[in-house]
Structure 1
Amino acid sequence: MDEETQLSRKTVLKAALAAGVAAPVALLGGPALARATAAGGVPELTPSCHDDDDPTPPQTEGPYFKPNSPERTNLVTPGTQGTRLTVTGYVFGLACRPVSRALLDFWQADVNGAYDNVGYTLRGHQYTDAQGAFTLSTIVPGLYPGRTRHIHVKVQAPGRPVLTTQLYFPNEPRNNTDTIFDARLLMTVRDNGTAKEAAFDFVLDVPQTPTSTQAPTSTQTSTPSPGGTTWTAGTAYAPGNRVTYASRAYVCLQAHTAQPGWEPPSVPALWRAE
């Protein structure tokens, strides 16, 4: 199997997880997930998570971080307004193995786009479990001038440097105008009644040793779309659209308008190689 057809970090669900551990949210085949389903059991690790996928990119901390947030997985308190949001995912190292007891410190704006700079509303930290999993209960943050919708987070494996970054929502109009926005940090989001569920897997720059050489079989499928054109900046693409770039085929995962720097190989959150 050559490098282009090797299963990637994004095609490994439970690849480093103990047998019988369920995924927190079944949001599969979309961006930002370092996992995928496996029929009939838990797959083993791929040899080297061969997808040229860099660790999760850092982003600016911004002016509103506060240390010493309370330890909690639920940021919603009595009287909190806004659409309920549950974010789930895993923290992996460079060999697709989970990182247990990784610290995640979240902070965000309220429904009106304001941060609590006096107390700790919509702020909190938690630790991944033995399988590297985390769950955050919060609300969809509001907008404020100059920024698209986002959630701040610091992630740190025990004894390793801190990754400071931000998580984004797909199909937000301001994604195209926010100069900080990075498509590699898009969450996978879906509706669940009146609430929303999102997923994102962090990949930290933590050296690890793979423990297996057997690759699982991918069960992902994509919805066909007619034709297929050359990727072009300025074009609006919808999920399922197919393009070619540098003689390789890609399928669109999230609706967006293409921009320079968002070429398919550079944004696995938006395009999946076929």
Structure 2
Amino acid sequence: MDSESNTSTGHVSRKAVLRAALAAGMAAPAVLMGVPALARTLSGGEAPLDLTPECDDGDDLTLPQMEGPYFKPNSPLRSSMPDGTGTRLTVGGYVFGRACRPVSGVLLDFWQADNNGAYDNTGFKFRGHQFTGADGSFKLTTIVPGLYPGRTRHIHVKVQAPGRPILTTQLYFPNEPRNNTDTIFDPRLLMTVRDGSGGREAAFDFVIDVPQNPGPTPTATTTTAPPGGTWTAGRAYAAGDRVTYGGVGYVCLQAHTAMGGWEPPNVPALWRVG
């Protein structure tokens, strides 16, 4: 094996498994149980994980997971999107930090095409955001997105931990013929997908840029309102609500309940200066 085949802890690297699976003509996720899902096999103090590939809006061709033209802010808070006909799909997984520990309170904002390959650009069909639970888990109930010219089947997502940068990326389906012709497709973003009861079941684990040290799962901390600020942890905000924080005015972009770590300067996915 080459130097990339084993980690310092003796685990076979995801890159090596992916290469072997592709060489054998196998569906990579069937071997990997979700490309980043081997994060679940590592325990505390072991080798740091690679990050899930970030999107850079196409500026860097080696990382082509762009946001695309169809993102809209202010998606509803929901984990189920029963917005049309199609094959039922459940996507579940975890969000891990660099030391393979789950991260709670992470914002995941999903959007996708409907069964006919069309995006709802006037409303919020097949758009929604949610937060990871105390164990870092998430679950999305939707349908298998349809195809449209130039692209393979995919789901868009923005991921942001409290006070950390936004990760924008796309999730893909194995064994899709268009995976071979879609110039944006990246096998590192393949989900594990299988037939389930009444539809299909998919799994994917995100590994994001959150520094972690040995200790308990990171959780939100209580934050007091800044002097003269109207933003308050624990309050439910609606899109369009205005607050002040540290002498600066902000406009709410997405309905949510505020919590420590989600102060307006820290979460551009939820607040903008205005």
Q: TM-score range by the shorter chain?
A: 0.5 to 0.7
Say yes or no: does 1:68 pair with 2:74: yes
Q: Structure 1 CA distance, aligned partners of 2:12 and 2:94? A: 16
User: Among residues 124, 130, 137, which one is paired with 2:134 in the alignment?
Assistant: 130
Moved over 3 A (4+): 2-5, 7-10, 35-38, 54-57
Greater RCO structure (CA 8 Å; 6+ sep) = 1
Q: Which amino acid aligns with 2:51?
A: D
Give the drift of 1:117. 0.3
CA contact (8 A) 2:9 2:47 kept: no
Say yes or no: does 1:54 pair with 2:51: yes
Q: Which amino acid aligns with 2:82?
A: V
Unpaired stretches in structure 2, ≥5 consecutive residues: 1-5, 15-29, 56-64, 217-274
Q: Structure 2 CA distance, aligned partners of 1:9 and 1:160? A: 26
Normalising by structure 2, report the TM-score. Answer: 0.63
Q: What is the match of residue 163 of structure 1?
A: 167
Give runs of aligned pairs for residues 23-172 of structure 1, distance below 5 A.
29-35=32-38, 45-50=43-48, 53-58=50-55, 59-77=65-83, 80-172=84-176
Give runs of aligned pairs for residues 5-24 of structure 1, distance below 5 A.
6-7=10-11
Q: Structure 2 CA distance, aligned partners of 1:6 and 1:99? A: 25
| Identity in percent | 65
Q: Which amino acid aligns with 1:66?
A: K
The structure whose residues are more often helix, as a share, is: 2
Question: 3-state SS of the aligned residue for 1:82?
Answer: coil
Give the drift of 1:169. 0.1
1:119–1:170 CA distance, 2 compared to 1 (3 A): same
Q: Structure 2 CA distance, aligned partners of 1:175 and 1:36? A: 25
Of 202-211 and 143-152, more deviation after overlay is shown by 202-211
Q: Structure 1 CA distance, aligned partners of 2:112 and 2:206? A: 18
Give runs of aligned pairs for residues 163-242 of structure 1, distance below 5 A.
163-211=167-215
Q: Which amino acid aligns with 2:43?
A: L
Q: Structure 1 CA distance, aligned partners of 2:40 and 2:101? A: 16
